[in-house]
Amino acid sequence: MHTKIKLGFLGGGSNSLIGVLHKIASYMYDDYELIGGIFNTDLGKNKESAERIGLDQKRVYQDLDAMIAEEIKLPVDKRIQAVSVLTPNNLHFSMAKKLLENGFHVICEKPLTTTYIEALELDKIAKISQKVFAVTYTYTGYPMVRQMRQMIRSGSLGNIQKIDVQYYQGWINPFIHDLKKRAEVWRLDPERSGISCCLGDIGSHAFQMTEYITGLKVGKVLADLNYLYEDNRMDVDGTVLFRTVKGVKGVIRASQIATGEENNFTVQVYGDRAGIRWEQENPNYLYFLEEGKPRQVLKPGHIYNSDLSLEAVKLPPGHPEGIFDAMANIYRGAAKAIKNESYDEGEFPSINDGLRGMDFIEKSVLSHKKGNIWVDLN
């Protein structure tokens, strides 16, 4: 008999895009059942969100301490097993720490924490608890990203010569130029977001994607960040040069003031035999480039793709797979781990990805503040 994992949410109320994304993703493979949690700090909105989903109001809690206390009273087969942490960045550490210490698996939004020291502590707690900890770098769930990973790691490109990752958005433009509006954006508040806005939000995706697909560990970074205004405390744009431990050079370009851009996340890797390119806004097309040959376009669902890619496909070839599907593939991978089933390490980003991401963010900000110097990552 198929047993669903009992899931709880922290954050992700009815008006939250991230909440809708995680809810649909968790349902997609029938691995989870959302049964309770805390959806909003406002008690009325909290209950309203749960009512819209159709949850038992007894499983809707006022705060995390109450939720943990009540859930652990229940028989093991009735209580929440895994919790998705969908709150602003500053709450990730304290919430995930309590959950791990009380025996819950954790699925956490990125960035993992607001400081590298917190991330280190959380990593230690996770190892002691032996609970599954997934960090939702969503784009690793796309079938063609997983295909790209397998092709690069199997040597299809030859020796890697250059890595170029760009993530351009323009969504902060309506807020950044007005001091009053700027104050209303939590990502521009260091107390809630951490030391970085742009790199913490989208640059961290670019960094994690670099290591995920290539298998190369970034060894040092040199960053030049843009705050746009002297009275703005958070970066909204930046360029980071990096060198991997093996000496491969690359660049990460991230911006939230790229006027007119929506979610332009583009990944390009070039080897001495071939190159490869993937664009998040057209995620079903993977371009394979060879000197003197026609450009090849690979698409999901075909038998020429790797097992890791095919495992992430839910539709026949020619039917678009989107961001809900990508997030669902991460949830599916975490479910396999929770159920002690075999899984590929590429099926979901781990707490180590979150730890590496925090190191990247802090070292990039340090590089900028020190006058654009090279800084080593741990």
Does the pLDDT value for residue 2 go beyond 90? no
* pLDDT band at residue 15 using 50, 70 and 90 as cut-offs: confident
Mean pLDDT of 320-340: 97
Mean pLDDT of 220-225: 98
Does the pLDDT value for residue 303 go beyond 90? yes
Three-state SS for 33? strand
Tens of pLDDT, residue by residue over 242-281, are: 999 999 999 999 999 999 999 999 999 999 999 999 999 9
In the chain, % of residues over pLDDT 70: 100
Rounded to 5 degrees, φ, ψ at 235 are -70, 140
Tens of pLDDT, residue by residue over 77-134, are: 999 999 999 999 999 999 999 999 999 999 999 999 999 999 999 999 999 999 999 9
pLDDT the model gives residue 1: 61
pLDDT the model gives residue 43: 87
For residue 243, what are the β-bridge partners? Answer: 220, 249
pTM over 0.85: yes
CA gap 333, 348 in Å, rounded: 6
Tens of pLDDT, residue by residue over 21-60, are: 999 999 999 999 999 999 998 989 999 999 998 999 999 9
Mean pLDDT of 170-198: 96
Q: Which domains, from first to last, does the chain contain?
A: 5-138 (3.40.50.720), 142-313+351-369 (3.30.360.10)
* CB crowding 224-247: b at 16 or more within 10 Å, else e: ebbbbeeebebbbbbbbbbbbeee
CA gap 131, 208 in Å, rounded: 22
Mean pLDDT of 232-243: 98
Q: Are 1 and 30 in contact (CB under 8 A)?
A: no
Mean pLDDT of the chain: 97
Does the pLDDT value for residue 12 go beyond 90? yes
In the chain, % of residues over pLDDT 90: 97
Cβ atoms within 10 A of the Cβ of 76, count? 8
Mean pLDDT of 354-360: 98
CA torsion 240-191-264-170 (nearest 10°) is -110
The distance of Cα 33 from the centroid of its chain, to the nearest Å, equals 22
Does the pLDDT value for residue 14 go beyond 90? no
Question: Locate tokens 């990805």: which residue?
Answer: 353
Q: Are 322 and 139 in contact (CB under 8 A)?
A: no
